[in-house]
Each structure stands twice: as C-alpha cells, then as structure tokens.
C-alpha cells in the first residue's frame, strides 16, 4: 500500500446541517485509487494529532474527494473553519474499504448519523441495486438523502422522533424487513449500539455484513498500535487488530462488541 | 552539507535521527513514505519474552501540544520479532536498536540473550515498565531495581546496551549513574511522563487504562533539562528524546548533551518528520558554518 | 446559574477559582481589569522571612503550550507583606491564601507564625523550594523533609494549612500522605515541573538560572493524573492546578478530585482567564443540569 | 493605571523593510491615553505568551495606534502573517513612557535598528526641535527615516557598512557632536551595547538621558515579576525593578548594565 501525504486545496465547502460540513478536495492521486470505506487522516492546524474522516465521495474524473463531518470537538471545529482555497494537510487513502460484490442484486446501506457519509461511495457503485437506510436523531441532523437518490438508490430516512422521513424510530425496523425478504449484503456505519444491532440481525439471518468501526488514532497507518480493537476468527480465537490498518471495515462476525 | 554522522558505542549512524520506539512499529508502514535508509537508525517497538496484547482501547488521548498513549507493551514476543521482523529490517541500511522490556529482570535478560545471534546493532532496554517481582513499581523508579535489571541484561549480551530512562522520578541523575555503574554503554531519555485525561461529559478517563504516557512538544523542556542534568552526571553517551519536532529542537537536545536524537509523536503529526528534521539540522549547521554535528554535542554554556 | 460555592477547611469560597501564587502578585495589577471580589480567592506571591531579590533575568522562556519561569522567590519579606499588601487585600471580599516558603523549616514556621495576628484566611506552604539545611534538595522531594516542614508550620499556626506539592517526584502520593499525617488541612498541586530551554545560536540557556519551572497547558495531563492519584491516597481536600485555561479544564480537575482550582499561566495569555473560567464552569454545569459544583468533586469513574 | 484588553482591527499593514512590518490598529480608547515610550502586549494566535511591542505612532483623532516590528521568532512571524481586517489581541497601553520636556529647545532621539520605531512619537511631539539619529546594520534595515522628516525632525542616518545614510559607523559619533554643542535631552532605544554607550556619553556630559529597555515578559503588567532588571538609586543602592511596570523607560543613570 502506498500512502500519500500532501496539502490539498478545498474546492468546495458547504454547510449541510447543524454543525455539519461537506468539503470537496482536489487530490487526483488519491481520487485515482481511493475505495469506498477508506478514510483520510487530516491535520487541523496547530494540532498534534490528525483526525480520521471517512471518504464520502470519490471522483477520479475530476480528481476530487469528498468528506462530510460534524463538529465534535476542537479539531473538527478548526477544520470546519477552513475555507475554499485553503489547503488541508491529509494522509490518504487509509485503511481497507468495503468488499464490493459485483454480482449482488440487492444490498442495504445502513448509516447512522455521521456514519451516513461513507455509504455514499457504495451507493455510487450499486446505484439502484442499493437501498440506503439512514437513521438520525431528528430532522436537524438529516443529511445526504438527496445524494443517495441521485445515484438511483432507494432512500429510507428514519428519525428517532419522527420529525423527518418515512420511519419514526431506528434503522433496524426497515432493515429486518429487507433481511426477511432476502438481500445479498449489508454495509453499516454509525454509533456502536446501532452497529451491534445491525450485526446481530445479519448474523442471525446469515446475511453477509460489513461494518465500519471508529477508534482513537495516532499514526493512522498501523505503526503505533494506538487504535486496537479485538476481533475473533472462525475458531473463536481472539485477535488484536488495528482499526486504521486492518479496518476500519470489518466483517460483522469478526467484531467483538 | 554538514557532516551529520555520529558514532555511539562504536556504531556508526549516518545521521543522529532515530524514530523512537513504539511510534514507528518495525518501519513497514513508514517505508511507504520514504526509504528507511535515510534514517540514522530505528528503535523498534518494545519487545518482551512472550506475545503481549497490550491494554484495551481507547489508547490515545490528545493533550495541549502532546498526547497520551496507553498502548502498553503490545508486541508479538521476541521469537516472532527475530523471525518475522528483524531479517527484513536488517536489510534497510540503517542502525537497528531493538527496544526490549520485561516484567522481571530475568525476562529482560532472556530477551536480550535471544538477540545475541542476530545482527541487531544495539539493545535499548526500557526500564519504565512495572517490575512484577517488586510489587509493580517500574524498574526505572529505583536505583536498585534499575541497577539490577541493567546488570542482568549486561550479563546476557555483548551488544551495545542503551538503557532508556523514565522521567517519572525525583532524581534522574541517580538512576543514570546507577545504570552506568551497572554496565550500560549509553542511556536514552526521556520516556513518557504519566498523565491522565477525563471526558467531562461521561466522567470517564479518556484512556481505558485510566492513565497513560505523555509525549510530544509539551515535554520537550523537561527532556532538555534531564538530558543536560544526565550529561553532567555520567560519562556514557546519551540518546535524547521527548517532544522533538524540528531540526532546531534536535540541535537543542544535542547542545544539552545528546549524541543522537529520537523522534516520537512528531511522526504522527507529520510522517515525514524524521526526514524533515534531518534536513533542518543540516540547514542550521550550514547557516552557522558548523562542519559536523558531532562538534556541538554538549556544548551548551550554562550561566 | 449553578451554585459555584465551595468550602475548604471551613473557609467559604464564592466559587472555586483562585489565581495561583506568583502569577497574580498581590492583585493590584489585575484589579485594573476586574474587581477582585469576582474571584473565589487569591493565592499571593510566595513570601519568605526576609526580602528576596529572586534570580537574575531573563526569567521567562516560552515552550510548546507552556512556559518556564525562574523568578525565584522574589518578595519583600513577610513583614512588608503584612504591613503593605495584606491590609489592602483583606478588603477585597475574596479568600486570601498566603503562600509562604523558606530555606529552613524554622523560617517557614516563623513566617506562618507572623500571620497568626492577621485575618489572612489560609496558609499555602510551598515545599518546592530548596532546604538549605539538607543540602539544597527541595523539601517537597522527600517524605521526611516534607513531614518535618509541615509539622513545624503546623505548630506555628492555627489557620487552615494547605501544603503545596512538587510534581518533580517519583511518588506524589507518598509526599501527600506524609504531609497529611503531619497535620496539613489540605494539599494543593501541582507546582511547576523543572525544565530548560537553550538558545541554539548563542548556546546559552534562555533562562539566566539555566533551569526553571514549567507551567501551562503542557502540564495539564500530569496535573490531572496527580490530583486523581492524591485524591485516592488522602482524605484531606485538594486544590488542583497546572495548565488550567478553560472552564472545562477546571471541571476536569474537579472530577479528578480537586475541591477548588488555581489558575496560573493562563492569566498571562488572557488577563480575564479566571473570570472567563468561572463563567465557563457555570455554563457547563447548567448545560448538564448540575445544580452545584460541589457535587462533581472526585466523581470520575475510573475503568 | 487602567489597562485595556481587546481585539483591535488591523486597518493598515505595510512591509517596510526586510522582514519588518508596520501595522496600524484601530483602538480609540488606547490612542486616547497612550504616551510615547509605552508599549502594547500582543498575543499571537495559538501562543501562550504575549509579545511586547513599542508604540510607534499615536493618533487620537483617528483613534489609531501604529506598531512596527521585525520578525525575530515564531510569534512575530505569526503576527506578521496577519492581514488587514483581522484583529490583534492586545493589552495596552503598558509601562511608563518617556518624560516629555515642554521647554526643551533641542533633543536627540537615538534609535538602533528595531529600536527606532518608539522614537517616532517623540519626533511628533518635538517636531523640528528634535534630531533623530538612527543606526542600522546596512541599507536593508533602514526604516522610518521619511516619517521623522514628516514631523520636521532632522534626520541623521547611520549604517555600519556605509551602504546608506550620511554616516558610516555607529550612532555615537554624531551624538557626541551634539552633546558637545549642548542639548536638553537624549532619548534612546536599541541594542544593549548601543544603550550602554549612549548612557555613558550622556552621563559623562551631564545631559539628561532616558533609555528604553527590553526584557522577556509574561504578564506585562507588573504581577509576575518576570521582567526583572536591576537599577541603582542616587545612593548607589541596588533595586530590582520590572521593565513592564517601572519601565520600559528608565533614566540612564538608574540602569545597571
Ligand atoms: C475511521 C474513522 C472514520 C471517521 N469518519 C468520520 C466522518 O466521516 N465524519 C465525521 O464527522 N466523523 C468521522 N469520524 C469521527 C472523527 O474522527 C471524530 O469526530 C474526530 O476525530 C473528533 O475530533 P475533534 O477534534 O473534533 O474532537 P476532540 O474530542 O477534541 O478530539 C480529541 C481526540 O480524540 C479523537 N477522537 C474524538 N472522537 C473520536 C472518534 N469518534 N473517533 C476517532 N477519534 C476520535 C480525535 O481524533 C482527537 O485525537 C471517523 C472516525 C474514524 C476512526
Ligand atoms: C518593551 C519592549 C518593546 C519592544 N518593542 C519592539 C518593537 O517596537 N519592535 C520590535 O520588532 N520588537 C520589539 N521588542 C522586541 C519583541 O518583543 C521581540 O522581538 C519579540 O517578543 C520576539 O518574539 P518572537 O516570538 O518572534 O521570538 P521568540 O524568540 O520565538 O520568542 C520566544 C519568547 O521570548 C520572548 N522574546 C524574544 N526576544 C525578546 C526581546 N528582544 N524582548 C522581549 N522578549 C523577547 C518572546 O516575547 C517570547 O516570549 C520589544 C520588547 C520589549 C520588551
Ligand atoms: C504510541 C507510543 C508507543 C510507545 N511505545 C514505547 C515502547 O514500546 N517502548 C519504549 O521504550 N518507549 C515507547 N514509547 C515512548 C517513546 O519511545 C518516547 O520515549 C516518548 O514518546 C517521548 O518522545 P516524543 O515526545 O518524541 O514522542 C512510546 C510512545 C508512544 C507515543
Ligand atoms: C511566574 C510564576 C511564578 C510563580 N511563583 C510561585 C510562588 O511564588 N510560589 C508558589 O507556590 N508557586 C509559584 N508558581 C507556581 C504556580 O503557582 C503554579 O503552581 C504553576 O504555575 C502551575 O499552574 P499553571 O500551569 O496554571 O501556571 C509560579 C508560577 C509562575 C508561572
Ligand atoms: S492509529 Fe496507529 S496503529 Fe492505528
Ligand atoms: S512581565 Fe510580569 S512583571 Fe513584568
């Protein structure tokens, strides 16, 4: 794997929801090789540690990459304050992404909150063979639903309080419906509780499922062992793996919640 | 072009910059950025007698100009290190410092002994880890324990032995003198300072291990002070580290008494940090018309 | 509006924020920015038996997220303090902690004794300074010396006695236990860590004193760790400090076990820091629906 | 003394020599009370300590203050990177300034290098009753000579290498000339060696002389005792004073070099 580190110009900045931003960066060498599920590691100015952010769009023709992130603390705040024309210090692309299934007829993309963005490159790949189930707390957090539609992907929006979307409640209800009808794969990213519920449903239904994990990172490339997570293999043996290098995408049955 | 080469305990380094133990793995990842042959040396991740899984996550927390880590001594064990990592590393045309540790002096000696039949250049003994036999206090926090573990390792190896000191002590010079008298060929310092962060909303320590080691720019002035104190207390060479992120920082540690400099957290901020630092050192020396970096070691003029 | 008042050793503070000793003089200068009555308390500049001129300049150096100072104990002496500074200060409607120090236990006791006839609220005994009788090692670096000086001062005063601990030790909990058993009513921590900077062009230490005390955000994680460790080791209350620059930082130290918080270097960055911190604490408590700041003290839940 | 801390907009930025900048800030409340010789304490973003910079211009009518500084390290570099419209975090005015002599008929303002700027407010006050002797290493460092002329002040420019100005060499040669002719006061700011030479000449000539000192500072207001300097009184007794509060301007005979 070759890593690239560089300063990449911001060519578009958009506020897309409360404290949530979409940035498009010009970085042809990364756009050429990036895959759905990989992430970038961005250094906010005057900070010592980089911030991992999933890739939310890959456009090799235009040489651009898209990221979508929420302000969570000081680092994401500093990034959100950057403007078009400025350059982001980024190492990319990192991690290994989702397994794409060329023969799949119907896949479901489950995103929760700020876990929705990494589902977009999958929607681009699967188009109308995919259904995106996205869960949010309320209408204020809803993002990217029209972006899925643009790829022909069917959209099911859920809000916990019912303030937006067709479903009031969690993503698991519509997911169970699809699982019972039979689907080829489920891809998920979002809060741990959601991932756990999704993984359990898929395992019980014997449906192929991959989930993207988060962990605090230092190097982002697999050298510092900072982002450990425990996994189990088929024999039930426990392994220490690293979210940045072995993940962030893992098979549902591997993950020890 | 200034002459950046240094020699420590008979080992030639093409330049004084060495990625620190634990931040650089076994070099495989950073080799994707630049050839390892550009580095003066590499200190490998701390290796123990048997495989260790380390501490549970989260293991990383950010702090002002620094970070905490509680990786613990996650490593595949000395046999796997010798078999799977070392052969590859020894072909990289750079000095390899095998960082080792253990829960007892015997374990440390055993690990060192296993390296005798390898071509590893130096052994860096980390004495910051808890000594299970002595109730869990770190070897590095008492002169007797530091001496004892150094002696044990000294007896097990003929390779140049660098003992890596902990800064979490009342008098680092006492520890340095103890390991010198016990046969260390050099000392390296500083390891991380013990710190903690708490998530004020969840009221949980950010690190699953509650506490972790502080590194980065925040500790640089402590490193400069300790290197200077130790260089006034012992005759053996010093490898300095702690918060170095620029060529100027590296020069400062060398003025304080370090013969070479390790770079830790800065590799996370900038994967090219070690290479950049080498270039910046060269530029500084050129700008001051200094021919060789060796000539500045320990030349600070105290008031 | 959350209730920010706290009570330490029977003394009521309207809020837990206290500018730290040495950064705030006797309040005269910062009074030009805001009324001192807004503060929970003020820790005055360390006072000794006789006038001291302190160390030669330069006394200040910058470090990543921190600074070094080598002011030394420059002060007009206890008599001048009582005569010229204290009467004014005691009318400011805020708690006054008289920070005292000395080169011998006797000097410390004498200084404390002179404060008996004043209305100063608390005595903060700084044990980081060198004990001339014991060869110049700081009182705060050995349990026996710390105990001895605490006992001497304890016998000289009935006022609440806060002993201020040095972080430059292998085990701060041992020192805390020693001063608790010697009669301290509370401990405050941390004082500065010893550090050094060198001007790489002149090859001179930046500080004329060669070394100085490190404070500021850089040391915050060490302060959190030490406050947490000490709060698990002693029963007396803790006044926490070290790198606090925001309401969130103050909350974090209180979760770790501090009943009040001192603010040092942050006053230089922002003269309004103590006031801002009080407001930020209030905002945080309100946002979390916490009625009183007292209820969070020591409530971190370790893993 | 009342101190003001605030964020003051930069209304003009000019590069006036190699790595040397002039900034004009809008801060009416400071401009109203500032005096020649006082300084401001500026916080570069993301730094913990402020930087003391002399006041180089006071314009109460327009509510502006001028500062002129050279890039010496990271902090001044960060300040130099600021632009018009941005705001500087400043405590001002600090210290006590030069003693103005309304009855003086001829005063000399001696500035060395980046010590020249604080002489400007004195030139404004004394106008054509002042002579400004300014010393620089070479033509590359020469600054502000035309600003003195604008106030009607006589200008004598010295460069060590003779690459600019009428005098090749140090400021002391022309100063001695004026001292021998008899002048009412000398004000000086610049490198310590220069100040020492100027002070000695004036003391020997029994000419009133004030000099502005530099020291590393933390608080800038007299609270931390960081910026100590030793002075002696008439009886020869030594005192510790503080550059930020008791200075930066001291009488020549007070200073212990
Ligand atoms: C593989 C991966 C992909 C991610 N993709 C996205 C994304 O597309 N959009 C998005 O909004 N967020 C994403 N996150 C989460 C994002 O990294 C954090 O929100 C961000 O690091 C918080 O930084 P901060 O400075 O704002 O918060 P602070 O709390 O100030 O950060 C302090 C430290 O903790 C780390 N940290 C805090 N929260 C997290 C977290 N949840 N995960 C990892 N590190 C954390 C920070 O990186 C930093 O080192 C992703 C995380 C990972 C691991
Ligand atoms: C009263 C006073 C007035 C001054 N007026 C001017 C002026 O008008 N124009 C100008 O260019 N410079 C002036 N200086 C000097 C200026 O303050 C320093 O050049 C500046 O602080 C350097 O900061 P830095 O971050 O670039 O350097 P660094 O070396 O990175 O600074 C590190 C630390 O040392 C301090 N420091 C370094 N050099 C000095 C110095 N010479 N004096 C005081 N502190 C220093 C810095 O403030 C900082 O705390 C003045 C200094 C004083 C005390
Ligand atoms: C993530 C991480 C892991 C580390 N692991 C080790 C280790 O295994 N053995 C060791 O001796 N030091 C270890 N260290 C300490 C570093 O080698 C170094 O002493 C310390 O980080 C100070 O240098 P820095 O400030 O440049 O990072 C580790 C440091 C970090 C940040
Ligand atoms: C300039 C300066 C002077 C100080 N003088 C004293 C002192 O006289 N007595 C004392 O106990 N602590 C003194 N301290 C230490 C502070 O009170 C405080 O313990 C330390 O700075 C850590 O807090 P901070 O990181 O918030 O600055 C001084 C600190 C500074 C920066
Ligand atoms: S962040 Fe360093 S190994 Fe994953
Ligand atoms: S800088 Fe604090 S007293 Fe002068």
Domain architecture of chain D: domains with CATH: 4-94 (2.40.30.10), 98-213 (3.40.50.80), 215-257 (2.10.240)
For D124, list phi and psi in degrees, rounded to 5.
-60, -40
Say if residue D79's pLDDT is above 70.
yes
Euclidean distance between CA atoms C30 and C25, whole angstroms: 9
Q: Are C84 and C114 in contact (CB under 8 A)?
A: no
pTM for this predicted structure: 0.96
Across C216-230, b (16+ Cβ under 10 Å) vs e yields bbbbbbbbbbbbbbb
Instruction: Give the C-alpha distances (Å, rounded to integers) separating D248 from B230, C74, D36.
Output: 39, 20, 11
Is the dihedral angle over the CA atoms C219, C221, C224, C230 positive or is it negative? negative
| CA C300 distance to own-chain centroid | 22
Say if residue A107's pLDDT is above 80.
yes
SS3 D195: helix
Euclidean distance between CA atoms C16 and C21, whole angstroms: 15
Nearest to C129 by CA among C145, C111, C151: C145
Domain C6-55+74-198+216-296: give its CATH code. 3.20.20.70
Neighbours of chain C (3+ CB pairs under 8 A): B, D
Neighbours of D1 (CB within 10 A): 13
CA of B263 to the centre of ligand 5 (A): 17
Please report the pLDDT score of residue B156 as a whole number: 97
Neighbours of D140 (CB within 10 A): 14
Nearest to A39 by CA among A57, A27, A52, A25: A52
Q: Residues of chain B whose pLDDT is less than 50?
A: none
Please report the pLDDT score of residue D168 as a whole number: 87
For ligand 1, atom 14, the nearest C-alpha belongs to: A53
**Chain B residues in contact with C219 (beta carbon < 8 A):** 218
Tens-digit pLDDT profile for residues D182-227? 899 999 999 999 999 999 999 999 999 999 999 999 999 999 999 9
Tens-digit pLDDT profile for residues B16-65? 999 999 999 999 999 999 999 999 999 999 999 999 999 999 999 999 99
Say if residue C135's pLDDT is above 80.
no
Euclidean distance between CA atoms C47 and C101, whole angstroms: 6
CA of A3 to the centre of ligand 5 (A): 14
Q: Shortest CB distance from D218 goes to which of C45, C69, C206? A: C69
Comparing A50-54, B128-132, D155-159, the range with the smallest average pLDDT is B128-132
- Look up residue C299 and give its DSSP letter: -
C168 in reach of chain B (CB within 8 A): yes
Euclidean distance between CA atoms C10 and A78, whole angstroms: 44
SS3 D20: strand
Say if residue C45's pLDDT is above 80.
yes
For residue A101, what are its two tokens?
A: 């299934």
Tens-digit pLDDT profile for residues A62-88? 999 999 999 999 999 999 999 999 999
Query: Confidence class of residue C237 from pLDDT cuts 50, 70 and 90?
Result: very high
Tokens 């235009």 belong to A62
Query: Confidence class of residue D111 from pLDDT cuts 50, 70 and 90?
Result: very high
B236 in reach of chain A (CB within 8 A): no
Say if residue D239's pLDDT is above 80.
yes
Q: Are A11 and A58 in contact (CB under 8 A)?
A: no
Nearest to D100 by CA among D185, D223, D215: D185
For residue B50, what are its two tokens?
A: 């048997």
Tens-digit pLDDT profile for residues C267-303? 999 999 999 999 999 999 999 999 999 999 999 999 9
Instruction: Give the C-alpha distances (Å, rounded to integers) separating B295 from B251, B299, B300.
Output: 11, 8, 11
Q: Among all residues of chain B, which has the CA nearest to that of A1?
A: B32
Q: Shortest CB distance from C25 goes to which of D217, D223, D229? A: D223
- Contact between chains at C63 and B221 (C-beta distance less than 8 A): yes
SS3 D245: coil
Neighbours of D83 (CB within 10 A): 8
Pocket residues for ligand 3 (CB within 6 Å)? A 218, 224, 226; B 20-23, 45-46, 69, 71, 73, 99, 126, 164, 191-192, 215-216, 219, 241-244, 263-266
Query: Confidence class of residue A162 from pLDDT cuts 50, 70 and 90?
Result: confident
**Chain D residues in contact with C270 (beta carbon < 8 A):** 5, 43
Instruction: Give the C-alpha distances (Å, rounded to integers) separating D130 from C253, D182, D195.
Output: 58, 13, 19
For residue A90, what are its two tokens?
A: 């980024």
B64 in reach of chain C (CB within 8 A): yes
Is A38's C-beta closer than 6 angstroms to any atom of ligand 1?
A: no
Residue B143 is a catalytic residue? no
D7 in reach of chain C (CB within 8 A): no
For residue B66, what are its two tokens?
A: 């620094």
Euclidean distance between CA atoms D71 and D78, whole angstroms: 9
Please report the pLDDT score of residue C132 as a whole number: 75
Nearest to B68 by CA among B55, B77, B81: B55
Please report the pLDDT score of residue A1 as a whole number: 58
Please report the pLDDT score of residue D154 as a whole number: 94
Interface test with A, best of B59, B197, B243 (most A CBs within 10 A): B59
Say how many Å lie between the first and final Cα of chain B, rounded: 31
- Contact between chains at A223 and B69 (C-beta distance less than 8 A): no
Query: Confidence class of residue D3 from pLDDT cuts 50, 70 and 90?
Result: confident
How deeply is B234 buried, as exposed, middle or buried, from its count of CB atoms within 10 A (0-12, 13-18, 19+)?
A: buried
Q: Are C121 and C159 in contact (CB under 8 A)?
A: yes
Please report the pLDDT score of residue C93 as a whole number: 96
Strands (E), C111-185: 122-126, 161-164
For residue B254, cis peptide bond before it (omega within 30 degrees of 0): no
For residue D251, what are its two tokens?
A: 């009488």
Is D47's C-beta closer than 6 angstroms to any atom of ligand 2?
A: no
The alpha carbon of residue D123 is apart from the nearest alpha carbon of chain C, in Å, by: 31
Strands (E), chain A: 4-17, 20-26, 39-43, 51-54, 57-59, 64-70, 87-94, 107-112, 130-136, 154-159, 167-168, 185-189, 209-212, 228-232, 238-242, 249-251
C84 in reach of chain D (CB within 8 A): no
Chain C / chain D CB contacts < 8 angstroms:
98
Tokens 């002994």 belong to B113
| CA D121 distance to own-chain centroid | 9
Q: Are D70 and D19 in contact (CB under 8 A)?
A: yes
D255 in reach of chain C (CB within 8 A): no
Please report the pLDDT score of residue D1 as a whole number: 58
Is D229's C-beta closer than 6 angstroms to any atom of ligand 6?
A: no
**Chain B residues in contact with A226 (beta carbon < 8 A):** 59-60, 69, 71
Say if residue C64's pLDDT is above 80.
yes
Q: What is the mean pLDDT of residues D115-142?
A: 95
- E strand or H helix at A14: strand A4-17
Neighbours of chain B (3+ CB pairs under 8 A): A, C
Strands (E), chain C: 6-8, 11-13, 17-19, 41-43, 60-63, 66-69, 95-100, 122-126, 161-164, 186-189, 193-196, 198-199, 204-205, 211-215, 238-240, 260-263
What is Dmax (Cα atoms) for chain A? 52
Please report the pLDDT score of residue A20 as a whole number: 95
Let me know the angle formed at the C-alpha of A132 by A130 and A133, rounded to the nearest 5 degrees: 140
Q: Are B244 and B224 in contact (CB under 8 A)?
A: no
For chain C, what is the radius of gyration of the CA atoms?
Answer: 18
**Chain A residues 184-203 within an 8 A CB cutoff of chain B:** none
Angle, in degrees to the nearest 10, between helices C247-256 and C273-287: 70
CA of C262 to the centre of ligand 4 (A): 10
Please report the pLDDT score of residue D165 as a whole number: 86
What is Dmax (Cα atoms) for chain D? 52
- Look up residue B44 and give its DSSP letter: P
Please report the pLDDT score of residue D162 as a whole number: 86
Q: What is the mean pLDDT of residues A217-233?
A: 94
């Amino acid at each position: 794997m070759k890593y690239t580190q560089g300063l990449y110009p911001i060519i578009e900045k958009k506020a897309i929801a409360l404290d949530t931003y979409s940035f498009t960066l010009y970085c042809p060498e990364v756009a050429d090789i990036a895959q759905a599920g990989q992430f970038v590691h961005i250094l906010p100015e005057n900070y010592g540690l980089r911030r991992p952010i999933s890739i939310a769009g890959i456009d090799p023709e235009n040489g651009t990459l898209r990221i979508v992130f929420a302000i969570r603390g000081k680092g994401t705040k500093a990034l959100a304050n950057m403007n078009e024309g400025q350059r982001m210090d980024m190492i990319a692309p990192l991690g290994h992404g989702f397994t794409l299934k060329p023969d799949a007829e119907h896949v479901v993309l489950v995103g929760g909150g700020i876990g929705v963005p990494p589902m977009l490159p999958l929607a681009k790949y699967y188009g109308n063979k995919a259904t995106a189930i996205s869960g949010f707390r309320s209408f204020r957090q809803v993002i990217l639903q029209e972006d899925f539609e643009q790829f022909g992907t069917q959209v099911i929006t859920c809000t916990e309080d019912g303030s937006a979307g067709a479903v009031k409640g969690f993503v698991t209800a519509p997911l169970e419906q699809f699982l019972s009808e039979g689907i080829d794969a489920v891809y998920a990213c979002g809060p741990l509780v959601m991932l756990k519920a999704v993984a359990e449903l898929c395992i019980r239904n014997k449906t192929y499922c991959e989930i993207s994990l988060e962990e605090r990172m230092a190097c982002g490339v697999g050298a510092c062992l900072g982002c450990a997570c425990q996994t189990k293999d088929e024999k039930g043996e426990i392994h220490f793996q690293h979210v940045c290098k072995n993940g962030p995408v893992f098979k549902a049955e591997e993950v020890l919640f | 072009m200034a002459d950046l080469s240094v020699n420590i305990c008979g080992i030639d380094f093409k330049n004084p910059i060495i990625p620190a133990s634990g931040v650089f793995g076994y070099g495989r990842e950073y080799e994707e950025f630049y050839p390892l042959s550009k580095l003066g040396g590499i200190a490998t991740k701390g290796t123990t007698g048997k495989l260790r899984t380390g501490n549970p996550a989260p293991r990383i927390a950010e702090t002002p100009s620094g970070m905490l880590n509680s990786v613990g001594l996650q490593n595949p064990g000395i046999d796997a290190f010798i078999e799977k990592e070392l052969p590859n590393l020894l072909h990289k045309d750079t000095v390899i410092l095998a960082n080792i540790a253990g829960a007892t002096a015997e374990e440390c000696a055993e690990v060192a002994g296993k390296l005798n039949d390898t071509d590893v250049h130096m052994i860096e003994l980390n004495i910051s880890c808890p000594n299970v036999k002595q109730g869990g206090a770190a070897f590095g926090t008492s002169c007797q324990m530091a001496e004892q573990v150094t002696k044990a390792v000294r007896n097990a190896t003929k390779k140049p032995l660098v003992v890596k000191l902990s800064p979490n002590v009342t008098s680092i010079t006492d520890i340095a003198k103890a390991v010198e008298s016990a046969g260390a060929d050099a000392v390296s310092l500083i390891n991380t300072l013990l710190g903690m962060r708490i998530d004020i909303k969840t009221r949980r320590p950010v690190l699953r291990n509650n506490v972790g080691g502080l590194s980065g720019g925040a500790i640089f002035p402590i490193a400069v002070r300790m290197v200077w104190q130790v260089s006034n207390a012992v005759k053996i060479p010093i490898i300095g580290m702690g918060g170095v992120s620029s060529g100027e920082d590296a020069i400062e540690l060398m003025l304080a008494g370090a013969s070479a400099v390790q770079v830790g957290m800065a590799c996370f901020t900038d994967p090219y940090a070690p290479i950049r630092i080498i270039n910046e050192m060269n530029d500084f020396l050129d700008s001051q018309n200094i021919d060789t970096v060796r000539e500045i070691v320990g030349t600070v003029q105290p008031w």
